[in-house]
Each structure stands twice: as structure tokens, then as C-alpha cells.
Amino acid sequence: MPAGRRAVLGLLAAAALLPCLSSADEEFHFKSWMLQYNRKYSLEEYYQRLQIFVANKRRIDRHNAGNHTFEMGLNQFSDMTFTEFRKTYLWSEPQNCSATKGNFLASSGPCPSAVDWRKKGNYVTPVKNQGACGSCWTFSTTGCLESAIAIATGKLLSLAEQQLVDCAQDFNNHGCSGGLPSQAFEYILYNKGLQGEDTYPYQAQNGTCKFQPEKAIAFVKDVVNITLYDEPGMVEAVGKHNPVSFAFEVTDDFLRYSKGIYSNPTCDKTPDKVNHAVLAVGYGEENGTPYWIVKNSWGPLWGMDGYFYIERGKNMCGLAACASYPVPQV
Ligand SMILES: *[C@@H]1O[C@H](CO)[C@@H](O)[C@H](O)[C@H]1NC(C)=O
Ligand SMILES: *[C@@H]1O[C@H](CO)[C@@H](O)[C@H](O)[C@H]1NC(C)=O
Ligand SMILES: *[C@@H]1O[C@H](CO)[C@@H](O)[C@H](O)[C@H]1NC(C)=O
Ligand SMILES: *[C@@H]1O[C@H](CO)[C@@H](O)[C@H](O)[C@H]1NC(C)=O
């Protein structure tokens, strides 16, 4: 190839790698987003974050122009790449997630066609925020136990995620690096109790165990695991008993979710790929698409007031790979 032509090809290749240039409009958007989310950067970081923000914003606009069951929007993660997000907020290694043979027993009789535990009574605490710590599993655990106790006793407590971060290692949990609700329920059962948010406040980082048995307010009598891929079992558990903890695979499009029924044809469905635990507080159906109503732990500003819907009945992103709930001791 002549040198001149090689040089031109080289230039073209370099141009393809150059950061996309942002328009004044996009930079204006970024600046209002920074104000809204209270972000400050050094000059160097400003341009790096602007570039990531613009790429995210363009993906959102492209998605929303198409025909989908859910919409995307800006949120607190809009200046991050998925790689950065994954390192801080998701499990870094696969957890031993599959309940190959669960102990959930289906009963006879139909399930309600729709349930929302948020509307049935004072059974669900406000959405919490895990911060920059892969502790989703502790929020899924407390949320589930909080609701199960409230349904059994009428008393809605707010329970201590930090105790699970600090103390539940003997049950294969790893603080800010991941864990599983089923293993956390086992910990609470054998540890003989979990403290409240007020006596063991959340710190969003690994710490040493400061459990004080006399301050425990929530107890577990039994742990119910739902068999691998038994999504109808999850429906029955949520419909007839209480909210259920589950895990699924978060991929980069999920970060930009804002409302509607999340669905993804390409995410993984196996227990070794799930990386985030959440809480199913109900289910329903809209225009023929069944969905789960799910409480997340990314604060009330993310998604629909901290919640999201995800398509039901297809083991979407592995959501039926490791579901469980506790039977409270009351
Ligand atoms: C959008 O997609 C749905 C389901 O794939 C399809 O039934 C519907 O006709 C589409 N609507 C438009 C406007 O393309
Ligand atoms: C999975 O279970 C094995 C055996 O109990 C344990 O050694 C390993 O640490 C667990 N892995 C995780 C990620 O918890
Ligand atoms: C947090 O502590 C666990 C042990 O409880 C450890 O496995 C993990 O690597 C730590 N994670 C971080 C982010 O420090
Ligand atoms: C439920 O799962 C946990 C952890 O994943 C396990 O330790 C426990 O033995 C299981 N319980 C039953 C009854 O299978």
C-alpha cells in the first residue's frame, strides 16, 4: 500500500477513535444535570465526564425514539460508564446462587391476578440507598424481612443492612463485595437476630461486626428457597405470602431505565451471571405484558420513585435463579 494511502487510512482510524464532539446543547444539558445531582469535577475530569454523559444521553434518546416497553432517562449514574458502575455497585464475583431444589411448597387454589404490597397496608419501608458499596443483597434481605414481619404483626420496622455487611461473612457473604439474601436470612436465623437501622446505622462500607444481641429486634424462624427457575412459585409466594428477594443480571441498559416494563432479549439467565439482588413487592399485567413490581436500593430518585417493573414469566435476566424469603419469628 502506498505510504500516502496508509497515512489517510491511519487518520481515518484515529478519527473513529476520537471522542464524539458534544454540541453546545448537550453541554448545557450536562451542566443542568451537574446542578441537579450536585456534581463538581476538576477541569480534566469535567471533559471526561461530559463525554461519557453525552454518549449516555444519545443512547437514551435513541432508545426512546424506538418502540420499547420501557423508557430510559438521565439519573445519578449518567456520568458513569457501565464498567465503572459495575465495579462499585454490583457483585464482583458470582455468588452461589442457585437453589436447585428449593423448599417452597406450592399450595392449591389460584393466585390473585395482581398484587401490590405497597397498597395493601403499611408493609413496605421507603426505598433506601446502598451508595457506592455492592451491598444490594443486604437491602433485598432487610426489605424482605421488614415486609414479612409487617404482614405478620402489623408493625413496620426498618432493619440494619450494616449488620449484614459487617457480620454475615460466615454464611458466604462478602460485605460490599456481594452476598445472597438466602444466606443472609440463614445468618439472621443462626445469629439470633438483626438490629434496627437506628441502633446499627448504614455506612456504605465494610466494617467490623458490632452486633449487640440485646438490641436485636427482628428474628427468623425459617428460610424458604424457591427452586431454580420456578417463576410460578415466585408468583405464588408474592401473591399469597409476602414480598420475595431475588437476583438478576444488570446490564448497561438497565442503568438508564426510567419507567415502564424492563425487558432485554440478550441478558443472561443463569445463576452464575446474576449480579444484583432486589425485592419483588408485587406483580401485574399491562397491555398483555406481565411484570414484576420491584423495589431497588439506588435511592428514590432512580427509576419510578426507586422502583422498576421487569417482564414476568420468562426468567428475564435470570430473575428466577435465586429467589427466597424468610419466615419471621414473631
Ligand atoms: C411496537 O412493538 C410491538 C411489539 O413488538 C408491536 O406489536 C407494535 O405494532 C409496534 N408498534 C409500532 C408503532 O411499531
Ligand atoms: C460458594 O460456596 C463455597 C462452599 O461453601 C465457598 O467456599 C465459596 O466461598 C462460595 N462462593 C461465594 C462467592 O460466596
Ligand atoms: C469487604 O469484606 C469482605 C469480607 O467480609 C471481603 O471479602 C471483601 O473483599 C471486602 N470488600 C471491600 C470492597 O473491601
Ligand atoms: C436455602 O439457601 C441457603 C443458602 O443459599 C442454604 O444455606 C439453605 O440450606 C437453604 N435452605 C433450604 C431449606 O434448602
174 is catalytic: no
Ligand 2 centre and the CA of 159: distance in Å? Answer: 26
Q: Is 285 helix (H, G, I), strand (E, B) or coil?
A: strand
What is the rounded distance in angstroms from the CA atom of residue 293 to the CA atom of residue 284? 8
Is 93's C-beta closer than 6 angstroms to any atom of ligand 2?
Answer: yes
Is 49's C-beta closer than 6 angstroms to any atom of ligand 3?
Answer: no
Amino acid at 291: Y
97 is catalytic: no
Low-confidence ranges of the chain (pLDDT < 50): 1, 7-18
Ligand 3 centre and the CA of 143: distance in Å? Answer: 22
Please say whether the beta carbons of 310 and 263 come within 8 A.
Answer: yes
Kindly report the protein residue whose alpha carbon is nearest to atom 13 of ligand 2. Answer: 95
Amino acid at 5: R
Task: Tell me the CA end-to-end span of the chain in Å, nearest whole number.
Answer: 80
Kindly report the protein residue whose alpha carbon is nearest to atom 5 of ligand 2. Answer: 172
Task: Kindly give the number of the ligand 3 atom that is closest to the alpha carbon of 166.
Answer: 5
Amino acid at 11: L
Rg (alpha carbons) of the chain, rounded to whole number: 22
Candidate list 136, 144, 176, 317, residue with the active-site label: 136
Q: Average model confidence (pLDDT) for the chain?
A: 93
Could you give the C-alpha distances from 168 to 3, 175, 190, 271, in angstroms and in order?
64, 8, 10, 21
Is 169's C-beta closer than 6 angstroms to any atom of ligand 3?
Answer: yes
Query: Backbone dihedral region of 146: left (phi > 0), alpha (psi from -120 to 50 degrees) or beta?
Result: alpha
List, for residues 11-35, the tens digit of each pLDDT value: 444 444 445 567 889 999 999 999 9
Task: Kindly give the number of the ligand 3 atom that is closest to the alpha carbon of 165.
Answer: 5
Ligand 2 centre and the CA of 264: distance in Å? Answer: 29
Kindly report the protein residue whose alpha carbon is nearest to atom 8 of ligand 2. Answer: 172
241 is catalytic: no
Is 223's C-beta closer than 6 angstroms to any atom of ligand 4?
Answer: yes
What is the rounded distance in angstroms from the CA atom of residue 142 to the CA atom of residue 153? 16
Could you give the C-alpha distances from 69 to 114, 131, 262, in angstroms and in order?
19, 28, 7
Kindly report the protein residue whose alpha carbon is nearest to atom 13 of ligand 4. Answer: 103
Q: Which helix (H) or strand (E) holds 326?
A: strand 323-328
- pLDDT for the residue numbered 23: 87
What is the rounded distance in angstroms from the CA atom of residue 303 to the CA atom of residue 300? 8
Distance of CA 271 to the CA centre of its chain: 15
